[in-house]
Structure 1
Amino acid sequence: MRYQPLIIIGAPRSGTNMLRDVLTALDGVSTWPCDEINYIWRHRNVRYPSDALPVERATPAVRAYVARRFDWVARRHDAEVVVEKTCANSLRVPFVDAVMPQARYLFIRRDGVDAVGSAMSRWKASLDIGYLAEKARFVPAMDLPYYGGRYIWSRLYRLFSSEQRVAFWGPRLDDMEALQREYSLAEVCAIQWQRCVDSAAAAFAGMPEQRWLEIGYEDFVRHPEQALERILGFLDRDVPKERQRAVVENVRSTSIGKGRAALDDATIRQLETLVGDTQRRYGYL
């Protein structure tokens, strides 16, 4: 392998897109021409009931298929680093590492309540044909009927939902259907965030420190030049200072607090009780 796979791990609405876009603006760093490739990661496990794929599901056929997809990006762009960002990977870091053992990781985390306010808007978002078409290009042909059926069901569900939301969005938890029956949408988003963060943190705790780097979203957007320099040091990449400044010039901290502002005080208190342990661990509570 003549390139470095770099996998961004983070819960939904935690700055994963922003981080990917900054990195792929650098020379020699590339990714797929779509938002996420969960379809690729789940190939040959498409009917597994959640995104928390266990290590034993990383069969030789799965490893070979995913490696070919990474190779395709590297060849197409003559890339030295191939960046991948799929939020569902937060639930299955050991599986991902078994599939791509040469990978290094960036673990980005954000205030969970802030992330919830942002995630709720995605559950209720209207259909975006262009976004869907970009991702559909990377669905394995044999998996198209399965995903097509699920997508149609999710959109039909939105038509009859009292909350005007789709049937599912974001990483699929083991007990997602039960959670949606028991909790409000805000609480489901909070549990989704917590499971992603806790699962990833537990996996990285057992991984050599030189293979992963933790990044606070708030720290990155407030001090992007310093944060990028830290990442480049982790990757052993030498990038001129002027180029570093150029790729982060549009990074802003204005999204900090937007998710919280979309929630009322009672909901915020409820969520802080529900996921308070994880919030406190990272200094958000």
Structure 2
Amino acid sequence: MSNLTHQPVVIIGAPRSGTNMLRDVLCALDGVVTWPCDEINYIWRHGNLRYPSDELPPERATEPVRRYIRRQFDWVARRYNADVVVEKTCANSLRVPFVDTVVPEAKYLFIRRDGLDAVGSAMARWKAPLDIPYLARKARFVPRSDLPYYAGRYLWSRLYRLVSRERRLAFWGPQMDDMAELLARHPLEEVCAIQWQRCVEQSRQALEAMAPSRWLEIGYEDFVTRPQEELARIVDFLELPATEADQAEAVRGVRASSIGKGRAALDTETIRRLEALIGEGEQDAR
């Protein structure tokens, strides 16, 4: 396996937990870049296209798979003359050991958010209308051989939204092994809660098995209320040559206005039911 020409940094987090915000802040620093689209799950899934979920075990990271994904990291580094390549795909929270088999040089940033805030926000994405510019940016990075498969899946998901009683997509976010069963047995808010819980628990379990020097945990609420302090901690962890002025500029647009917004979208009975469902995991993310 050839050496990478840069330092890979992988952001791990459940959907709607501030992963985009964290990526964008880091990429505002000199020498730090990412792909010019939101996520690259298509790249991570190449070679395992028909695996039934995003919970790829490490043994699925075969030599051809590793070689292909690592080439994509190197492409970004060369294209933008970068020292650090940041990757953020929420589905990776279900397969950290697979990711680490592909990029064992990586450092990890694990961002967590209040569980019910994340659930309330995720529910809106399950019901979101078509965003053609967003889709076009991601489609650029679909391997050509995989395009027919994803086109069919995307069309089915959109058609499903038209006939669904809940007016939701057929699938959204990290796909768990038992996703179809969960969608058949639970209302959407409970599926979102379970999806959030699995992402957090599986990420934490995998990261805690690594050396502490390889990963750093960040609280979303901490970051948005004390952005310069938290970014300084991340810069120190990643050993980035960013000055205080650079860091202040990078977090200039960070706001705490989304704290509590997801919870506010849920009624009292739903909050009570979801708190009972996700239990201690939700409390840990506060």
Smaller-chain TM-score bracket = over 0.9
SS of the counterpart of 1:173? Answer: coil
Residue in structure 1 matched with residue 110 of structure 2 by the alignment: 107
CA distance in 1, matches of 2:42, 2:245: 37
Q: 2:176 aligns with which of 169, 173, 176?
A: 173
How does 1:140-179 map onto structure 2 within 5 Å?
140-179=143-182
Residue in structure 1 matched with residue 25 of structure 2 by the alignment: 22
Deviation of 1:280 after TM superposition, in Å, equals 2.6
| Letter paired with 1:105 | Y
Q: State whether residues 113 and 220 of structure 2, in contact with CA within 8 Å, keep that contact through their aligned partners in structure 1.
A: yes
1:58 aligns with 2:61: yes
> Which consecutive aligned stretches of 4+ in structure 1 deviate over 3 angstroms post-superposition?
none
1:252 aligns with 2:255: yes
Q: 1:84 aligns with which of 69, 73, 87?
A: 87
CA distance in 1, matches of 2:245, 2:47: 44
1:270 aligns with 2:269: no
| Letter paired with 2:55 | A
Residue in structure 2 matched with residue 40 of structure 1 by the alignment: 43
CA distance in 1, matches of 2:241, 2:36: 25
- The superposition leaves residues 56-109 of structure 1 with CA deviations (integer Å, 9 ceiling, x where unpaired) of 000000000000000000000110000000000000000000011111100000
| Long gaps (5+) in structure 1 | none
| Letter paired with 1:153 | W
1:193 aligns with 2:196: yes
| Letter paired with 1:48 | Y
Residue in structure 2 matched with residue 210 of structure 1 by the alignment: 213
- The superposition leaves residues 31-68 of structure 1 with CA deviations (integer Å, 9 ceiling, x where unpaired) of 00000000000001010000000010000000000000
SS of the counterpart of 1:107? Answer: strand
SS of the counterpart of 2:191? Answer: helix
Residue in structure 1 matched with residue 227 of structure 2 by the alignment: 224
| Letter paired with 1:77 | Y
- Give RMSD over aligned pairs: 0.7
Deviation of 1:237 after TM superposition, in Å, equals 1.5
SS of the counterpart of 2:49? Answer: coil
| Long gaps (5+) in structure 2 | none
- The superposition leaves residues 94-145 of structure 1 with CA deviations (integer Å, 9 ceiling, x where unpaired) of 0000011111100000011000000000000000110001000000011111
1:49 aligns with 2:52: yes
1:138 aligns with 2:141: yes
Once the two structures are aligned, what percentage of the paired residues are identical?
67
Q: State whether residues 5 and 74 of structure 2, in contact with CA within 8 Å, keep that contact through their aligned partners in structure 1.
A: no
Residue in structure 2 matched with residue 96 of structure 1 by the alignment: 99
CA distance in 2, matches of 1:105, 1:214: 9
Count of matched residue positions in the alignment of Structure 1 and Structure 2: 283
Deviation of 1:2 after TM superposition, in Å, equals 2.6
